[in-house]
Amino acid sequence: MAFKPWAAPKWPKDVPHDITGYEKPLTNFLDDSARDYPNQVFTIFNGGMRTFAQVKDTADRVADFLVSQGIQKGDRVAIFLPNLPHYPPIFFGILKAGAVCVTCNPLYKSDELNFQLKDAGAKAVFVMDHPEFYATAAKAVQGTDIETVVICGVKSYLPKLTGFLGGLLGKIPKADRHEPGHLFFDDVVAKAKPEPPAVEINPTEDLALIIYTGGTTGAPKGAALTHANFVFDVMSTEAWVRFEHEPGAKPESYRRGGFHTFLGVLPWYHSFGLTMVLLTACSTGSRLICIPDPRAGNPPFTDVLEAIQKYKATVMAAVPTIFVAFTNHPLLDKYDLSSIMGCGSGGAPLPPEVARQFEAKTGAVIFEGYGLSETAPNASVNPTNTEDRKFGSVGFPIPGTDIKIVDKENGLEELPQGEDGEIAICGPQVMTGYWNRPEENEAVFREIDGRRFFLSGDIGHIDEEGYVIITDRKKDLILVGGFNVYPADVEEMLYEHPKVAMAAVVGVPDPKSGESVKAFIQLKQGETATEQEILDWCKEKMAGYKRPKSVEFRDELPVTVVGKILRRVLRDEELEKTQLDT
């Protein structure tokens, strides 16, 4: 693709402008690392470790098992698991069978999971042996095409003594009862052969994953992504990232073969955690710490801090709410987090003040990126050095990717540099489309200059130095007396208040201005504040139309599993209050 001249001044040295060689099956990541680093540890789970050779062996057996169950090329197989060490071999095993993964949020209720299984037409599902997760799945498969349910217990993935003591003391999770006909993961793996079927994969056409998105803004829809979508995104991001592996040394990309340890704090059912953590760890032959519940511990997030210190994590991808949780953790200073070299942030805007506080306390470097499930997910990333990184931006399009800012009405007219519009993305990581949603596809794809662009639904612009600036979501815009107010802009300023841990703003009905801004604030632990105190502070910091007219304090703000604050939930609560008052 043609290089964008606006990116030239700050484009990182030694980073290519394009990527080739990504037209290959996604399973190559595991097969290549198992060939090159067979005895290198891949997954770490509560002290239990599995090598790349062991994970490949299990993945091959999963593929053989699925074929024995009648799974054919193109069939969909669901994974309903948290971040367990079973996840990588199951994921790659499904692909080795020629099937398509359907990753499911393990916190779904039965109706939500049932919808997803039906919509995808899944024929098999892997679920954790757990009182809640299994019961949810057992109910959700009713009325679907699911013929095979595989129950995954954790005991065999723990160190032998831990597994023995845990079973003895009843601490290992297990469902209260199991339905007849449901199979156990350890049994099917033991009986299967490490011989995956010979399946021809067309990487640019054959699907690897259907990942559901849009649940916070409407009915969930499946983004259908190919093998090449993910291989490209991993390769392009690897080409972009540079670390100082030793103080003062020349920055270089990931060192391969066990040098790095990735922290699996993001859920792998989500594209951010799947691509930037699980797949990149596999591609680089690195260790992967499995964190099923990042909030575990007393106080919350203590266990993950212990894992960083114990296993010396070097790479951490997270969402802003996790950085906030770490920064405000009362025991943070008791843990050595100095092993962390770089942190990727995404999923929601990263307030600069949050980044500064985290870096000051840990010594790590945070570089913010941007993308969507529909783009596998990375589309742009900030330079990974502190000199060229720009707070408040999401950097440049990653190699091989183009971003245009187009008009908000039709998405066809490219706008002048610096002007806000809808962000449109073109590149090999863009999905084929939404699963069985032709109307949705017509709404989000545009042909511009002979190329296919995806309309992101995000508003932003390209600044004078070529950095992409995300202003806000198209649907979250607040109209105050004819002025556009972008929630992220107001929230960013609220994060600068020394007492604020988390903040969200929404538009609420206002008889004079149409809408006004209301702020929801979660204070830092031990802090107290009044509404008037916050309003007075905002008066000094913001233009009149941006300022919140009211403030509500919450012990916790509603967030998704990946840490996005659910403004929609807050907005719906306010609308319900308004209706009750009328």
Q: pLDDT (tens digit, 9 = 90+) per residue, 333-381?
A: 999 999 999 999 987 778 788 898 889 888 889 999 999 999 999 999 9
CATH number (domain holding residue 418): 2.30.38.10
Which residue in 286, 272, 287 sits closest to 429, CA to CA? 272
Q: Which of 472, 494, 525 is the last residue of a domain?
A: 472
Contacts of 254 (CB under 8 A, 6+ apart): 238, 241, 243, 260, 280, 284, 286, 315
Which residue in 487, 426, 499 sits closest to 456, CA to CA? 426
Output the CA–CA distances (angstroms, integers) from residue 532 to 208, 489, 548, 551, in the order listed: 52, 21, 11, 8
Report if residue 169 sits inside a domain.
yes
pLDDT exceeds 80 at position 484? no
Which residue in 269, 270, 335 sits closest to 299, CA to CA? 335
Q: Which of 148, 177, 200 is the last residue of a domain?
A: 200
What is the pLDDT at residue 283?
A: 98
Which of 166-170, 227-231, 405-409, 451-455 has the least mean pLDDT? 166-170
How many angstroms separate the CA atoms of 27 and 220, rounded?
27
Report if residue 433 sits inside a domain.
yes
Q: What percent of the chain has pLDDT over 90?
A: 72
399 in the same domain as 541: no
Residue 535 CA neighbour count, 13 Å, CB half: 12
Q: Which CB contacts under 8 angstroms, 24+ apart, belong to 380-388? A: 380/468, 381/237, 381/240, 381/241, 381/344, 382/467, 383/10, 383/12, 384/12, 384/240, 384/241, 384/242, 384/243, 384/251, 384/342, 385/12, 385/242, 385/251, 388/10, 388/12
Which parts of 480-551 fold into alpha helices (H)? 487-494, 531-541
CATH number (domain holding residue 505): 3.30.300.30
The larger pLDDT score, comparing residue 564 to residue 431, is at 431
CATH number (domain holding residue 124): 3.40.50.980
562 in the same domain as 437: no
Report if residue 550 sits inside a domain.
yes
Q: pLDDT tens across 136-150, in order?
A: 999 999 999 999 999
457 in the same domain as 487: no
Residue the block writes with tokens 């990333």: 381
How many angstroms separate the CA atoms of 228 and 431, rounded?
10
The larger pLDDT score, comparing residue 194 to residue 579, is at 194
pTM over 0.75: yes
132 in the same domain as 62: yes
What is the pLDDT at residue 14?
A: 87
453 in the same domain as 402: yes
Query: CA-CA-CA-CA torsion for 33, 37, 39, 44, nearest 10 degrees?
Result: -50
Per-residue confidence band for 481, with pLDDT thresholds at 50, 70 and 90:
low
How many angstroms separate the CA atoms of 520 and 230, rounded?
37
> What does the mean pLDDT of the chain come to?
91
553 in the same domain as 454: no
3-state secondary structure string across 359-400: HHHHCCEEEEEEECHHHCCEEEECCCCCCCCCCCCCCEECCC
Contact 495, 519 (CB under 8 A): no
The number of distinct structural domains making up the chain is 3
Tell me the residue range of the domain where 140 lies: 50-200
What is the pLDDT at residue 482?
A: 59
524 in the same domain as 481: yes
548 in the same domain as 442: no
Report if residue 209 sits inside a domain.
no
Report if residue 485 sits inside a domain.
yes
Which residue in 335, 352, 329, 264 sits closest to 83, CA to CA? 264
How many angstroms separate the CA atoms of 473 and 422, rounded?
9
How many angstroms separate the CA atoms of 552 and 533, rounded?
12
Report if residue 110 sits inside a domain.
yes
pLDDT exceeds 50 at position 131? yes
57 in the same domain as 152: yes
Q: pLDDT tens across 53-80, in order?
A: 999 999 999 999 999 999 999 999 999 9
Q: pLDDT tens across 269-320, in order?
A: 989 999 999 999 999 999 999 999 998 999 999 999 999 999 999 999 998 8
Which residue in 212, 255, 203, 257 sits closest to 230, CA to CA? 203
551 in the same domain as 417: no
- Beta strand 468-473 pairing with 315-318: unpaired
Q: Which of 200, 230, 259 is the last residue of a domain?
A: 200
Cα-flanking dihedrals φ and ψ of residue 316, to 5°? Answer: -135, 120
Q: How many CB atoms lie within 10 A of CB 10?
A: 17
Report if residue 538 sits inside a domain.
yes
538 in the same domain as 428: no
pLDDT exceeds 80 at position 216? no
What the block records as the tokens of 35 is 């060939």
How many angstroms separate the CA atoms of 255 and 246, rounded?
12
Report if residue 512 sits inside a domain.
yes
pLDDT exceeds 70 at position 252? yes
Cα-flanking dihedrals φ and ψ of residue 423, to 5°? Answer: -80, 125
| DSSP per-residue letters across 302-346 | HHHHHHHHHHT--EEEE-HHHHHHHHT-TTGGGS--TT--EEEE-
535 in the same domain as 571: yes
